[in-house]
Amino acid sequence: MEQDFVGMATEVSSYSNEAELELGLGLSLGGGLVKAKGSPWGEYGKIMTAKDFPSGFCGTKRAADYGGGGPPDVGYSAPPGVSQVVGWPPLRTYRMNSLANQAKVLNDEEEKRVGGNDECNGALKENMDNGSNKNDTTVKDNGQLGFVKVNIDGMPIGRKVDLNAHACYKTLARTLEEMFCRPSTTINSNCSGGQEKGKGTQPSKLLDGSSEFVLTYEDKEGDWMLVGDVPWGMFLSTVKRLRIMKTSEANGLAPSFRERNDRHKNKPI
Amino acid sequence: YLSNTSTLSTKMAKSFPEEVLEHVFSFITSDSDRNAVSLVCKSWYEIERWCRKRVFVGNCYAVSPRILTRRFPEVRSVEIKGKPHFADFNLVPEGWGGCVYPWISAMAGAYPWLEEIRLKRMVVSDEALELISTSFCNFKVLVLSSCEGFSTDGLASIAANCRELRVLDLRESEVDDLSGHWLSHFPDTWTSLVSLNIACLGSEVSFSALERLVARSPNLRTLRLNRAVSLEKLHNLLCRAPQLVEFGTGAYSSELRPDVFSNLAGAFSGCKQLKGLSGFWDVVPAYLPAIYLTCSGLTSLNLSYATIQSPDLVKLVSQCHNLQRLWVLDYIEDIGLDALAASCKHLQELRVFPSDPYVVDPNVSLTERGLVAVSEGCPKLQSVLYFCRQMSNAALVAIARNRPNLVCFRLCIIEPRAPDYLTLEPLDAGFGAIVEHCKELRRLSLSGLLTDRVFEYIGTRGRKLEMLSIAFAGESDLGLHHVLSGCESLRKLEIRDCPFGDKALLANAAKLETMRSLWMSSCSVSFGACKLLGQKLPRLNVEVIDERGSPDSRPESCPVEKLYIYRTVAGPRVDMPPFVWTIDEDAALRV
């Protein structure tokens, strides 16, 4: 990524301070770029992640650091896979969903594939157990299960998220938070890039009720439900699309936040 | 040349009646020839435009429906493409555009005799489908390739109203699958079906409706079923359609039962005209021998969803001596590709897809060696799409030398910026060899570690290159400059995550008017440069796609997220969503 900054510096002279920008460890929440003083992006008065960087590099640039070609002075190790980069490898959604649906039944290396997070193991096993059944129902109900649409209140632009890249609610919620940025940041710092699976240790705000937004989904019957109430496998078989709703509008959709908070907090990190 | 022809033809035009010229023109079917004819002189332009029956619109925003219908009043067949290619990989935000309704609406009035509509990457609503079904009494062919925005309700309108329908092909479209009931809307009196492709649909259609449909369609040549059609029932369909040429199975799995197997094998062997097979989801290998008897006649085999291992693939493929096209997963491995090279001497197109694209470590033994083997063993190989995890310059040079007849070469090394795994050098030399030896190369996709040098090779030697895809490559603007200042035949250029900025683009601005389109995302092109381009070149639409809010809210030097530039005679489009901006001649930001 640094070489890209340098490239930009020659094009755009007002950004002469790029060389001073250093990448901190990890690109996940809070651990990202440390802004040098005198940076032109003075209006962002906090430590930003690469996502907040308004230069447009966002998530897609991180792939530049994967593999053999990355600049040596980047201070973190390459993540385990390429799944964080939007649209890479260049495969159509339809193909990826088809493969994923079959892989869940046949492939017992599923654990490795889905980020290897310990916190997901409980949900993962349940997913595998339900595997073949889920496969039948989901294929019949929605031939393209993997990618579902996501909208957030206040933004007309929807996104898509690949449910097959997750084995539990936690990683899904974190990915969505990254995708739409933290509600606490300024409104225009929306990200354009990847579906990053954050490796931070904070629980997802979308799930524990501490954010002003809450994650909901529309099921097969057209009802809007709060995400997290049913086992993951059942959720996958019934979800049609997602909506990140303002908490104030989500009344009556679910059991209390505190209950769900307890349920999700006991996963080892 | 043109002026001589013009003088001569003006004389000829005066001596030949229009009907004769029209008759002569009817033998000219290629679009570029037709376009050339129309430029000869005014009367040829007029005659040609009145008798053009088939039109191809490569970019739906390059021309407007009104311009089309005014110039060509007698069109019977239309093909339109919408979103840029990278939309296939989720790089184009939803709602960007490419809506077909305005086209259907215009054509409904202008072309009551329209017979064929082929759309690619367009947004097709149920309303559009309904309008199609009620506007064209002679409507015969509907092909929706990678389209979206419609549901099975729209399909029901087509089924219910299009009495002359011959082709319904939904290849890889994203359909809101409400139910399988739509198929039953085809009336019992309708017997003209030639081709049906519903492979992309998730829900189950009524099997008995399908059976009856197949039974009353003597002209049925192509039938591609969806995954929900079970294997045990397949023979019922095949027995009723022994004249099939192309067949796509549903899920290729079932409990192992001898009666199912023998029914299936018998049914397949009854289809003596079968040339192409596809489908093969969830394959149970024990059922593969059921198709062995068809193998020697097969020219096309799509096993790209078949999660079977190399030995089974080898058994299958080594019997397909007439195979011209193979799509397969990387489960085939190098060893399977060796077998392919040995058995399939007529192979023209090979696509190898990754079975597990998201892990860095290989899950199968598929390397550059497999591709080299096929390039050696298959003299007619001209089109390659290959996903792998390692590549070397030596291999690429070998491939280039083996196969100078390559026309399409798309290599995807899964890890971005992966170097030559043997020497750790960039792959410039390898790709350079490809463009040097393969003089007919029209399409190229790059991957791996690449410096600006590879673009110098491409710019100077890629003379016939029409489409170039670049990702995570290059070092500076020089790279882009090489491409834009060379590549005489370049029509489509798509770039993502490369350090290309303003200089090359502005220096080669005129080139953009000779191309269909340019896509750049996650590069370093500033908003200021976009404004400049939009101002200087009014025949281009310079679209800035940015989900961070108006580019005016950031410094002009700030790079844009995504950029889509295309030539147009229709002016700026009027259906832009909030995250797309164009710049008009006053450099005003138009939303």
Kindly indicate the confidence band of residue A226, based on its pLDDT and cuts at 50, 70 and 90: confident
Single-letter amino acid code for the residue at A151: N
- Which 3 state secondary structure label does DSSP give B543? strand
Asked if A104 is an interface residue toward chain B (Cβ–Cβ < 8 A), one would say no
Q: Determine the Cα–Cα distance for residues B122 and B308; give it in Å rounded to an integer.
A: 34
Inform me whether the pLDDT recorded for A83 exceeds 90.
Answer: no
Q: Which residues of A touch B91 (CB under 8 A)?
A: 86-87
Of A91, A94, A157, nearest to B579 by CB-CB distance is A157
Contact B415 A67 (CB under 8 A): yes
Q: Which residues of A touch B177 (CB under 8 A)?
A: 141-143
Contacts of B56 (CB under 8 A, 6+ apart): B31, B79
Q: Which residues pair with B352 in a beta bridge?
A: B328, B386
Of B86, B94, B353, nearest to A158 by CB-CB distance is B94
Contact B499 A3 (CB under 8 A): yes
What pLDDT, on a 0 to 100 scale, did the predictor assign at position B111?
97
Q: Which residues pair with B56 in a beta bridge?
A: B79
Lowest model confidence (mean pLDDT) among A141-150, A253-262, B153-162: A253-262
Query: Chain B residue with minimal CA distance to A181?
Result: B548
Q: Determine the Cα–Cα distance for residues B304 and B424; give it in Å rounded to an integer.
A: 31
Cβ under 8 Å to B: A residues 41-80:
54-58, 60-61, 63-64, 66-70, 80
Copy the structure tokens of residue A244. 């990140």
Written as tens digits, the pLDDT of chain B (591 aa) is 455 555 665 665 566 788 888 899 989 988 889 999 999 999 899 989 998 999 999 999 999 999 999 999 999 999 999 999 999 999 999 999 999 999 999 999 999 999 999 999 999 999 999 999 999 999 999 999 999 999 999 999 999 999 999 999 999 999 998 888 999 999 999 999 999 999 999 889 999 999 999 999 999 999 999 999 999 999 999 999 999 999 999 999 999 999 999 999 999 999 999 999 999 999 999 999 999 999 999 999 999 999 999 999 999 999 999 999 999 999 999 999 999 999 999 999 999 999 988 887 888 999 999 999 999 999 999 999 999 999 999 999 999 999 999 999 999 999 999 999 999 999 999 999 999 999 999 999 999 999 999 999 999 999 999 999 999 999 999 999 999 999 999 999 999 999 999 999 999 999 999 999 999 999 999 999 999 999 999 899 999 999 888 888 999 999 999 999 999 999 999 999 999 998 776 556 666
CA dihedral B419, B305, B521, B573 (to 10 degrees): 160
Q: Determine the Cα–Cα distance for residues B341 and B369; give it in Å rounded to an integer.
A: 12
**What is the CA B582 to chain-centroid distance, rounded?**
27
Of A89, A102, A159, nearest to B414 by CB-CB distance is A89
Of A40, A64, A80, nearest to B416 by CB-CB distance is A64
Q: Determine the Cα–Cα distance for residues B489 and B461; give it in Å rounded to an integer.
A: 11
3-state secondary structure B153-221: HHHHHHHHHCCCCCEEECCCCEEECCCCHHHHHCCCCCCCCCEEECCCCCCCCCHHHHHHHHHCCCCCC
More confident residue, B310 or A191: B310
Residue A89: cis peptide before it, omega within 30 degrees of 0? yes
Contact A149 B94 (CB under 8 A): yes
| β-pair type (B195-197, B167-169) | parallel
Query: Chain A residue with minimal CA distance to B353?
Result: A91
Query: Chain A residue with minimal CA distance to B307?
Result: A102
Asked if A132 is an interface residue toward chain B (Cβ–Cβ < 8 A), one would say no
Nearest CA to A249 out of A224, A268, A267, A222 is that of A224
Of A68, A95, A106, nearest to B424 by CB-CB distance is A68
Q: DSSP letter for B526, please.
A: B
What pLDDT, on a 0 to 100 scale, did the predictor assign at position A43?
32
What pLDDT, on a 0 to 100 scale, did the predictor assign at position A190?
35
Inform me whether the pLDDT recorded for A113 exceeds 50.
Answer: no
Q: Which residues of B touch A96 (CB under 8 A)?
A: 357
**What is the CA A23 to chain-centroid distance, rounded?**
20
More confident residue, A63 or B209: B209
The phi-psi region of residue B172 (left if phi > 0; otherwise alpha if psi is between -120 and 50; otherwise beta) is left
Q: Which residues of A touch B502 (CB under 8 A)?
A: 11
Asked if A17 is an interface residue toward chain B (Cβ–Cβ < 8 A), one would say no
What pLDDT, on a 0 to 100 scale, did the predictor assign at position A17?
37
Lowest model confidence (mean pLDDT) among A15-29, A168-182, B363-377: A15-29
Q: Which residues of B touch A69 (CB under 8 A)?
A: 416-419, 449, 472
Q: Which residues pair with B81 in a beta bridge?
A: B120
Q: What is the largest CA-CA distance in chain B?
A: 76
Query: Chain B residue with minimal CA distance to A70?
Result: B417
What is the number of helices (H) and of strands (E) in chain B? 20, 24
Q: Determine the Cα–Cα distance for residues B3 and A159; give it in Å rounded to an integer.
A: 54
Q: Which residues of A touch B227 (CB under 8 A)?
A: 139, 143
Contact A67 B416 (CB under 8 A): yes
Q: What angle do CA B266, B269, B270 make, to 5 degrees?
A: 90
Q: Determine the Cα–Cα distance for residues B441 and B435; give it in Å rounded to an integer.
A: 7
Contact B95 A80 (CB under 8 A): no
Q: Write down the ipTM of this complex.
A: 0.89
Inform me whether the pLDDT recorded for A7 exceeds 70.
Answer: no
Of B357, B526, B577, nearest to A12 by CB-CB distance is B526
What pLDDT, on a 0 to 100 scale, did the predictor assign at position A141?
36
Q: Which residues of A touch B366 (CB under 8 A)?
A: none
pLDDT tens string A154-172 = 776 677 787 877 878 888 8
Instruction: Assess contact for B466 and B441: CB atoms under 8 A.
Output: no
Instruction: Assess contact for B373 and B339: CB atoms under 8 A.
Output: no
Q: Which residues of A touch B476 (CB under 8 A)?
A: 7, 10
Kindly indicate the confidence band of residue A150, based on its pLDDT and cuts at 50, 70 and 90: confident
Lowest model confidence (mean pLDDT) among A123-137, A229-243, B512-526: A123-137
Crossing angle of helices B393-402 and B368-377, rounded to 10°: 10
Single-letter amino acid code for the residue at B250: G
The nearest CA of chain A is from the CA of B573 a distance in Å of 19
What is the number of helices (H) and of strands (E) in chain A? 10, 7
Contact A68 B472 (CB under 8 A): no
Query: Chain A residue with minimal CA distance to B420?
Result: A68
Q: Determine the Cα–Cα distance for residues B539 and B63; give it in Å rounded to an integer.
A: 11
Q: Determine the Cα–Cα distance for residues B259 and B545; give it in Å rounded to an integer.
A: 57
Contact B307 A102 (CB under 8 A): yes
What pLDDT, on a 0 to 100 scale, did the predictor assign at position B557?
93
Radius of gyration of chain B (CA): 26
The nearest CA of chain B is from the CA of A173 a distance in Å of 20
Q: At residue A97, what are phi and psi to the nearest 5 degrees?
A: -65, -45
Q: Which residues of A touch B304 (CB under 8 A)?
A: 95
Of A8, A54, A158, nearest to B548 by CB-CB distance is A54
What pLDDT, on a 0 to 100 scale, did the predictor assign at position A261?
46
What pLDDT, on a 0 to 100 scale, did the predictor assign at position B590?
64
What pLDDT, on a 0 to 100 scale, did the predictor assign at position A205?
65
The nearest CA of chain A is from the CA of B199 a distance in Å of 10
Please give the C-alpha separations between residue B201 and each of A95, B116, B177, B233, in angstroms, as whole numbers: 13, 22, 7, 18
Of A89, A141, A187, nearest to B412 by CB-CB distance is A89
The nearest CA of chain A is from the CA of B46 a distance in Å of 43
Of B469, B497, B553, nearest to A60 by CB-CB distance is B497
